[in-house]
């Protein structure tokens, strides 16, 4: 079963994301912020990481940059799931290694379609 890491400081977003992904047949682990996400990404081989941008302790862009430095994590697909939609934020996300960008609130069917493209 494919492993996905959901990183978001909002419990309701994590719950919705986990429910959506599990119903689609994915194994999901949760992290409450970037630091937690980085620790989990270093401990488990994930097939995809979905992260929020604005979080306490370490934001999504800082986390992605750090995850890309971990052994074996250079090519893990990473999706940014955030309320932010400004071009400069997206560009910063791309530079940090974001594979895609989804704006909240997300559509479950569209999210699953993107996840299926990234996780083969």
CATH code of the domain containing 39: 3.40.50.2300
**What is the side-by-side strand order in the sheet with 100-103?**
27-31, 3-7, 48-51, 78-82, 100-103
Q: pLDDT tens digits, residue range 57-102? A: 999 999 999 999 999 999 999 999 999 989 999 999 999 999 999 9
| pLDDT reported for residue 23 | 97
The residue segments making up the domain with residue 102 are 3-118
Sign of CA dihedral 34, 39, 40, 41: positive
H runs (alpha helix) in 32-102: 34-43, 60-69, 87-96
């Amino acid at each position: 079963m494919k492993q996905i890491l959901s990183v978001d400081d909002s419990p309701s977003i994590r719950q919705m994301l986990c429910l959506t992904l599990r119903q689609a047949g994915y194994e999901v682990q949760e992290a409450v912020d970037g630091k937690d996400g980085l620790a989990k990404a270093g401990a488990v081989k994930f097939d995809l990481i979905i992260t929020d941008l604005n979080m306490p302790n370490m934001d999504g862009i800082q986390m992605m940059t750090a995850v890309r430095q971990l052994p074996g994590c250079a090519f893990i697909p990473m999706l940014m799931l955030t309320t932010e939609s400004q071009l400069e934020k997206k560009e910063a996300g791309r530079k940090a290694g974001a594979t895609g960008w989804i704006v909240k609130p997300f559509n479950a069917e569209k999210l699953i379609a993107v996840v299926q493209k990234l996780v083969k």
